[in-house]
């Protein structure tokens, strides 16, 4: 896992703990200082493929941690 991927994962999990729902791609990109949300989308997709995050396709704010993290809808 790269440093940026770890930062993204930590941001999402912390956001979930604070708010009870997942961040938007815009909030992720803003929180990590990215210039656009496509970078956040790319990292989230990769983390989902690796099983470190999950998301519901077609639903807003549906990014969450794996079941064992306790952060899921």
Residue 71 pLDDT: 54
Q: What is the pTM of this model?
A: 0.85
The Cα 1–Cα 49 span in angstroms is: 13
Neighbours of 26 (CB within 10 A): 12
Q: How far apart are CA 30 and CA 50, in angstroms?
A: 23
**How do the domains of the chain map onto residue ranges?**
3-65
Read off the pLDDT of residues 10-52 as tens digits, 9 standing for 90 and up: 999 999 999 989 999 999 999 999 999 999 999 999 999 999 9
| 3-65: in CATH 1.10.10.10 | yes
Q: How many CA atoms lie within 13 A of 44 on its CB side?
A: 26
């Amino acid at each position: 896992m790269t440093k940026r991927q770890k930062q993204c994962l930590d941001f999402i999990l912390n956001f979930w703990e604070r708010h009870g729902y997942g961040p938007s791609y815009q909030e992720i990109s803003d929180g990590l200082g990215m210039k656009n949300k496509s970078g956040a989308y790319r990292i989230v997709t990769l983390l989902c493929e690796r099983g470190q995050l999950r998301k519901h396709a077609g639903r807003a704010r549906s990014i969450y941690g794996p079941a064992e993290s306790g952060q899921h809808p």
